[in-house]
Structure 1
Amino acid sequence: MEKLKFFVVVLLMGSLMVSCSKKAERFELQDENLVGYVNPMVGTDVHGHTFPGPVMPFGMVQLSPDTRLDGWDGCSGYHFTDSEIYGFTHTHLSGTGCSDYGDVLLMPMCGKFSTDNKEYSSHFSHDTEVAEPGYYAVKLSDDDIDVELTVSPRVGLHRYKFNREGKRYIVLDLEHRDVVLEAGLRKHSDNCYTGVRRSYAWADNQHLYFAMKFSTDVSIVEPADFDWESDSLCRPDKPVYVFEIADSAVKEVLVKVAISQVDEDGALKNMEQEVPNWDFDALRKDASDAWNHELNKIIVKGGSEEQRKVFYTAMYHSFVHPTLAQDVDRRYRGTDLKVHSSDDFTAYTVFSLWDTYRAAHPLYTITQQARSVDFIKTFIAEYSQGGRLPMWELSSNYTGCMIGYHAVPPMVDAYFKGIKFKNLESLALEAMVASATADELGKRDFARHGFMSVNEEHESVSKNLEYGFDDWCIAQFAKSQGDKEKYREYMIRSQAYKHIFDKSCGFMCPRQNGAWKEKFDPKEIDFNFTEANSWQYSFYVPHDILTFIDLMGGNEAFEAKLDELFTTGSETFGKDLKDISGMIGQYAHGNEPSHHIAYMYNYCGKPAKTQKLARQIMSEMYNSTPSGNCGNEDCGQMSAWYVLSAMGFYPVNPANGVYDIGSPIFDTVQINLENGKKCLIVAHDNSPENIYVAKMEINGKPYTRSYILHSDIADGARIDFYMTSDENITFGSKPEDIYQSRIEEFKVVPAPYAKTGVRTFHDSLKIELACIDDNAKIYYSINNGEEKLYSEPLTINETSTLTFHSECEGYEPSKPVEAKYIKIDRDRRIKLLSKYTPAYSAGGNDALVDHLRGGNDFRTGEWQGYYAQDFEAVVDMVDVADIKSIETGFIQDVGSWILLPKYVEFYTSTDGVNFKKIATVNHNVADNDYRQQIYNFRCEPANCRARYVKVFAKYYGKLPEWHIGAGGDTHLFVDEIEIVEK
């Protein structure tokens, strides 16, 4: 088996350590009943976005109460602050920041029925709720009905106990939550019905089919005018159905509901195979046993009761997603939305990869090796069927959410850990490269320049950094497959971080027109970063850390920068993002970009600081109450961080088989591996005070490094930590004890930059070039002319394009940087009569008259945004002139709440006081046209002489009913006001 050089070194080092050591003392922890430690309510309050209802490990059905119809904190359908239940639905997302699912709602009623959710909903009290793995119960207080829920992988089983006299009803609402594309119900047999619900929300076209069966005789009373004995679907305008229990004396009714992404027949088969009877208690026990089996993969002893509750609840939440997507007959729906079948793997869905590649998937390589193969084979199947690897895939839909091509790291990580996807290696590499080179999301500019600029792509800093890491992963995999050309190409691409690191301030900074973006503040949250600011992204170089430390100025400078991160003020400004939470200084544990940073101290020889912070984060950011998550659960990532850190390690680089040492909180941890081996972790003298690692042993042999290897765990090593309260430890601090995260082949010299950010000028412009590497030589050309060695500032007198790159002996050259400078005749002044949103300033008050047009995406920061108001501005041309035309551009992005104005009016004046309307311009773009598009409102007045031009745009108003944000206010985004003189 061919392995990469650096993997060979670290894996052999681990295996030699095992073989040469004396035999360490062994003991074995026996399986326990661990489900009692789990509280599914954790994360249901504040912004955790979890749900409390039952789900099997990675199960297709998530059967849970819905208490909220919309809103960001209603993403999971349930929020702990609510007091009303609308019903119980069979699909839910755990901890996401976007809303979807909530399919096939059932709600029991007594005495009377309604198809209006305001009337069939019921109040409840948390005092009557019971939530445990595989089981949920609650009393619906309005009608005094006790509800119990349990599940199999593909089936939900309801048990309703009616405590009042009166007719019994069960409402089936297929209209609940998402926009319905297709819905219908048909009678399959006595007391058994099947149906379809195809919907639009986060997933554009979610297919869901279901089969439901009642334990007693029922009839349908709404709609009442349909022939239920026919074989056709009943598709009323309002797809809400009401079943009446035939015998009103029946106290207890059970309903089982199976789902499928394939068809109704698939749902029936799922139900028949998984829940053939009505034994609720047996099914509940099966679900509990399944969870107990999963939780026993890691047995912990010691620590506090609270820590054990947090740990096993975190394990539970780590194993909710990804979600089973294949029926018992092996069929599933692919990303081409066609039905496929597979016998050699099980298909899954809900891949929140921007989150989960960091810790959840590395955790799965320890606890879910077989499922990891299924996940990866699902990735490859999605590429084969849909043309790309998943980024954020949901029910076979590419949502386009988040950034990166983060299916790649889990594939590479698993491969080098011995979790193989045999005979698919060539196709896997093809899929990786296709994801990296697709003409989307700035990837073309990234390949051409070695990085992308603000004006080329929104969230450019984050994308540069995350694309770079993904490319490093591709390079390693290409090398393992003997593809030297791709190895070189992607190693070069992986060093994009060098081109956006501003040495003068020590931050990763956005670049614009060859220069550093002006008015940079590392605390600002803007469209240059993904759900973060520069503080939270500036330490993201997981594959070349030691080179990055050198760029920062060495270990002391790097340590000081980390110290500043964790001690500076926690205030941020710009975009209002609730995701940025769980603050320690500017460290934000509530969102993923920060998750590795506490472990970065290991790389500058200060592991004690990592150990202290790891304990602090575990203590302050997690607890076992409903508010126990400091941010979104994010499909298991938030919890996986805790599971790994509590055991004493975390993967800063989630694709190299290395785990960086932190501070274990339990006395003993036993990892029961699928290969039959058991890894034992023992923390001696562990306590809340003894948080530092004084020394370590692996298999009884002294060990001094600040990291362990996956091979240590996979081989069933015994790992001993000896803890102390003395922070002045030397363990793991020597250079030879630090993992050598350094790119040695195809090193790239940083790209040069222009010192001026000016893009327009009047007479002439002086341009200085520089590079953060003082040894680099800079070469330039103007307007594709002769390339010259840069030695002194350049002066241009006409509109010009400057191309420049850097070279250095022993390094690969940087790719060409382009900067365009536009010569303009004279300044114009503008007075804004409306107030723009600070986060969408486009650079300030003069942005609309700077002769620079915004691009095709409002998120590049070059469009000025106005919220819930009309737009009005007056342009002063300085002198009276004959006007040929006036044009103002607006952008529409319906999915982002940005709509074109209803109309635009143009006025002119010679004195700035008395204005005359010269034109009203309308448009014919539909408000439900979701394409991102620019519309230029233009007029060409006859005989128009003026100095002042006023532009008025009437904002769209509230979002219409068909929009996911119905009733909310809209934005206007404008750029530029162009006035052409005769």
Structure 2
Amino acid sequence: MSKALNFLEKKESYQATGKKNMSLKKYVSGICLVAGLIYGCSDSGEEKQSELTNYVDPFIGTAGKGKTYPGATVPFGMVQLSPDNGRNGWDWISGYFYPDSVISGFSHLHLSGTGAGDLCDISFLPVSGKEKQTRLDSVSKRETVHSGFSHSRESAEPGYYQVYLDDYQVDVELTATTRSGLQRYNYDRTDSMAVRLHLGYARNWDWVTDSQLKVVNDSTITGYRKSSGWARDQRVYFYTVFSKPFSAFAISENDTLVSDVSEIRGKNVLGKFFFDESQGGEIMVKTAISSVSMANAKANLEDEQSGFDFGLVRKQALARWENELSKIQVETTEDDKIQFYTAMYHSMLAPITFSDVNGEYKGPDGSIHQADYIRYSIFSLWDTFRAWHPLATLLYSDRVPDMMQSLMGHYEEYGKLPVWNMHGNETDMMLGYHSLPVLADAYFKGQLGEDPVQTYEAMKKSAMQDEFGIKAYKELGYVPYDSLGWNVSLTMEYAFDDWCLAQVAKDLGKEEDYEYFMNRSKNYQNHFDSASRFFRAKSLSGNFRSPFDPLAYHPEDYAEANAWQYYWFAPQDIDGLIALTGGNQAFEKKLDALFETSQSAEETPVWISGNIGQYIHGNEPSHHVPYLYRSAGVPNKGEQRIRQILDELYTTQPDGLCGNEDCGQMSAWYIFSALGFYPVNPADGKYILGSPSVEEATIILPDNKSFTINAINQSKQNVFVKSVSLNGQQVSRNFITHEDVVRGGELVFEMTNQPDNN
């Protein structure tokens, strides 16, 4: 009891100071604390919450740069039922920003840390008494209905979220299944209970193009919301059932109330549903969605078969999370366990299930298609090809074939492999053709789930198209700054993707293609300037752009980075990059300078965060860099930097992610690095050795196999690796392979505080 009370005291201290002292997800009511129920006051009261889900804090990343959401979802679920603050702006990209103090609704779709302001579709809000309305920011053209709330009356765990709305005296609880969300409202004030559904709610990049609301009967509504923004043709159909009949309703379009009508269309549709206090103060709202039709949304709802048993749905969601989290069992400090299992949790928020129970979904061509596999969407490939997809081949290998078929389905319907796929749309966000490393990795690991020849042809088509500067790249060996921005980054990333394509070509016996794409994989060298010792933008005529400052952020040449940060992106040819730099010693000094060169006074873009000198952990191009020290023959320096990043740039606070979560990539880096290895080249099946922060970890593999990592003499001070053995044999190379892991066995690190033992 004293420990629980101490937790609440620390929580109150955080609210007073604005600094979080420990994880907030464990807030539960006083009754639960007295009873010692770890499960969190389940309706059934049957079982305690399992240990691993208890270490997940959904509030990590909801402040600062993380851009995560705290609401209810299941692993890779279609629905992400979460609160929205109702404001526009960078901080509210995911709908919710922890420092805020108001909530404007609970919507069913959210992005996890992407930096793109879209979704927040199908937004409900319970109200009582007079509605509180204010213009919440300078962007909003009209007042927003909202309520104040306090973090002292807010909690979350995997698959569950709860908050008390102060202005309407309503306790709100959210839980979810794969394709539906269930809300439970408990009104303390029962004389004027109502539920609002605002289909016109839109923030940031999103705007409504058409919507419809239809009242089916006194407890059922249905409709759709179509919008444009980042997803240019987004369609969300919904089917909602209330646990109790409403006594009256009102619907309006653009603030004009429509009387005696049960159906309305428009761009700012609002429905308000009133409930009689004689029915009691608890109302539940169950909503399923679909990208295809209202009929499919209804079928999705009926398929869940959970009724209005909120406790059961919550328990089932928690059990699904526990099952996934248990794929890795770690022994480490309590604080690091919270970080590790929250990272695992974040790694399963995308991609999302996109096909309905009957297999139908909206394709990127705008047509309705049907799949005999689970169709996934939201592939943030510029981010996730680096570590998330390799992690998926270890932890979520049962899902990878369907994900690869989803990439290929996109190709068959759209004519191109996806760049950044979102809700049945191609956004063309970011750069590269990074479906290629993802498909190549799955191919070599036996998880493709597709015809390899057809897959190869799709990969080759991406590499041989003329768009996005690729025509000039094919002709000149680089993308000139005369024709396109981000040109240096484009060339370097295309070169890596070409290497991936070459490996598949070789394996399929396509020798001519192999030679061609291997030659192209060296194109990154065409930007190297021997005078400045950096990769620089070149003109059509082959001249470097001047003036040049490697510290400056120039989006015309580098994608969300500067010349320092992009210097290291040649994971397909580390030896070549070292030679270009001047050998191991020069490469080591260059790496040292990266971490030691401070940023200039020039203001940096918002996505530049998590700085250690010019190393930027908050953005993906830097993620593999600490592991390059091992290739230069000085692994101890990389080990020290890896542990510094783990210790300083990940915390259990709401701002505990130093950059956008980016659909799991930030967390995938943490998981791999905490275990002691990382896929520097994410398509070669090798994991470069680092410095594990766990004491012990066991990865549960298919076929009753397991792979154990032991770190002997592990501590915060012992960050250096004295020796490594695999299944009792000394490891003399810099890496282990994917096959080493999936065969099962034991990897042992002997740790020390002496760097000269490497």
Query: TM (normalized to structure 2)?
Result: 0.89
State the match for 1:50 in structure 2. 68
CA distance in 2, matches of 1:670, 1:578: 37
State the match for 2:502 in structure 1. 475
State the match for 1:136 in structure 2. 161
State the match for 1:179 in structure 2. 207
Matched residue SS, 1:515: coil
Question: What is the total number of aligned residue pairs between the two structures?
Answer: 693
Contact 2:363 2:424 in 1 (8 A): yes
CA distance in 1, matches of 2:408, 2:318: 32
Letter in 2 for 1:213: V
Task: Work out whether 1:240 is the aligned partner of 2:240.
Answer: no
State the match for 1:969 in structure 2. none
Residue among 331, 334, 339 paired with 1:305: 334
CA distance in 2, matches of 1:572, 1:382: 44
Contact 1:367 1:674 in 2 (8 A): no
- What root-mean-square deviation, in Å, do the aligned CA atoms of Structure 1 and Structure 2 show? 1.6
CA distance in 2, matches of 1:248, 1:43: 42
Pick which of 397-406 and 184-193 moved more.
Answer: 184-193
Contact 1:113 1:169 in 2 (8 A): no
CA distance in 2, matches of 1:572, 1:550: 32
Superposition map of 1:273-672 within 5 A = 273-301=303-331, 303-343=332-372, 345-422=373-450, 424-512=451-539, 513-526=541-554, 527-571=556-600, 573=602, 576-672=604-700
Report the CA distance between 1:610 and its aligned residue. Answer: 1.1
Report the CA distance between 1:313 and its aligned residue. Answer: 0.5
CA 1:669–1:152 in structure 2 vs 1: closer, same or farther (change >3 Å)? same
CA distance in 1, matches of 2:749, 2:318: 33
Residues 907-930 of structure 1: CA distance to partner in whole angstroms, max 9, x if unpaired? xxxxxxxxxxxxxxxxxxxxxxxx
Contact 2:250 2:259 in 1 (8 A): no
Report the CA distance between 1:577 and its aligned residue. Answer: 1.0
Residues 759-788 of structure 1: CA distance to partner in whole angstroms, max 9, x if unpaired? xxxxxxxxxxxxxxxxxxxxxxxxxxxxxx
Report the CA distance between 1:330 and its aligned residue. Answer: 1.2
CA 1:656–1:572 in structure 2 vs 1: closer, same or farther (change >3 Å)? farther
CA distance in 2, matches of 1:400, 1:336: 14
Report the CA distance between 1:226 and its aligned residue. Answer: 5.0
Superposition map of 1:821-836 within 5 A = none
Residue among 197, 215, 219 paired with 1:191: 219
Matched residue SS, 2:531: coil
CA distance in 1, matches of 2:334, 2:51: 14
Contact 2:214 2:223 in 1 (8 A): yes
Report the CA distance between 1:118 and its aligned residue. Answer: 3.9
State the match for 1:729 in structure 2. 757
Report the CA distance between 1:227 and its aligned residue. Answer: 4.9
Report the CA distance between 1:251 and its aligned residue. Answer: 0.7
Contact 1:468 1:494 in 2 (8 A): yes
Letter in 2 for 1:718: E
Contact 1:115 1:240 in 2 (8 A): no
Matched residue SS, 1:47: coil
Larger Rg: 1 or 2?
Answer: 1
Contact 2:222 2:240 in 1 (8 A): yes
Report the CA distance between 1:503 and its aligned residue. Answer: 2.0
CA distance in 1, matches of 2:598, 2:528: 23
Residues 146-185 of structure 1: CA distance to partner in whole angstroms, max 9, x if unpaired? 0000000111000000001412110000011131111001
Residues 112-135 of structure 1: CA distance to partner in whole angstroms, max 9, x if unpaired? 458988463100001111011100
- More helix by percentage: 2
- Structure 2 unmatched runs, 5+: 1-48, 135-141
Contact 1:167 1:248 in 2 (8 A): no
Task: Work out whether 1:158 is the aligned partner of 2:189.
Answer: no
State the match for 1:257 in structure 2. 287
Letter in 2 for 1:427: Q
State the match for 2:109 in structure 1. 91
CA distance in 1, matches of 2:526, 2:268: 56
Letter in 1 for 2:353: L
CA distance in 2, matches of 1:159, 1:509: 57
Matched residue SS, 2:94: coil
Matched residue SS, 1:634: coil
- Structure 1 unmatched runs, 5+: 1-30, 731-982
CA distance in 2, matches of 1:283, 1:546: 53
Residue among 64, 80, 94 paired with 1:62: 80
Letter in 1 for 2:558: F
Matched residue SS, 2:550: coil
Report the CA distance between 1:704 and its aligned residue. Answer: 1.8
Residue among 700, 712, 715 paired with 2:728: 700
Matched residue SS, 2:607: coil
CA distance in 2, matches of 1:677, 1:293: 16
Task: Work out whether 1:268 is the aligned partner of 2:295.
Answer: no
Letter in 2 for 1:719: L
Report the CA distance between 1:392 and its aligned residue. Answer: 0.8
Residues 334-374 of structure 1: CA distance to partner in whole angstroms, max 9, x if unpaired? 1112111111x210111100000001111001001121111
Pick which of 175-184 and 430-439 moved more.
Answer: 430-439
Matched residue SS, 1:611: helix
CA distance in 1, matches of 2:398, 2:683: 18
Report the CA distance between 1:470 and its aligned residue. Answer: 0.4
CA 1:311–1:572 in structure 2 vs 1: closer, same or farther (change >3 Å)? farther
CA 1:340–1:637 in structure 2 vs 1: closer, same or farther (change >3 Å)? same
State the match for 2:44 in structure 1. none
CA distance in 1, matches of 2:748, 2:691: 12
CA distance in 2, matches of 1:602, 1:269: 54
CA distance in 2, matches of 1:59, 1:375: 14
Residues 715-770 of structure 1: CA distance to partner in whole angstroms, max 9, x if unpaired? 0121111111110023xxxxxxxxxxxxxxxxxxxxxxxxxxxxxxxxxxxxxxxx
Letter in 2 for 1:317: H
Aligned residues with identical type, % of pairs = 42
CA distance in 2, matches of 1:118, 1:165: 25
Contact 2:131 2:146 in 1 (8 A): no
CA distance in 2, matches of 1:572, 1:530: 20
Residues 480-516 of structure 1: CA distance to partner in whole angstroms, max 9, x if unpaired? 1121221111111111111111122221111123112
Letter in 2 for 1:600: L
CA 1:140–1:452 in structure 2 vs 1: closer, same or farther (change >3 Å)? same
State the match for 1:125 in structure 2. 150
Letter in 1 for 2:191: G
Report the CA distance between 1:462 and its aligned residue. Answer: 0.3
Matched residue SS, 1:525: coil
CA distance in 2, matches of 1:560, 1:249: 73
Report the CA distance between 1:69 and its aligned residue. Answer: 2.8
Residues 161-214 of structure 1: CA distance to partner in whole angstroms, max 9, x if unpaired? 000141211000001113111100113344111111000111111011000000
CA distance in 1, matches of 2:177, 2:469: 43
State the match for 1:956 in structure 2. none
Letter in 1 for 2:512: E
CA distance in 1, matches of 2:455, 2:557: 31
Contact 1:68 1:82 in 2 (8 A): no
Letter in 1 for 2:169: D
Contact 1:35 1:291 in 2 (8 A): yes
Residues 53-104 of structure 1: CA distance to partner in whole angstroms, max 9, x if unpaired? 0111110000000014311111100001111100100000000111000000
Report the CA distance between 1:572 and its aligned residue. Answer: 6.3
Query: TM (normalized to structure 1)?
Result: 0.69
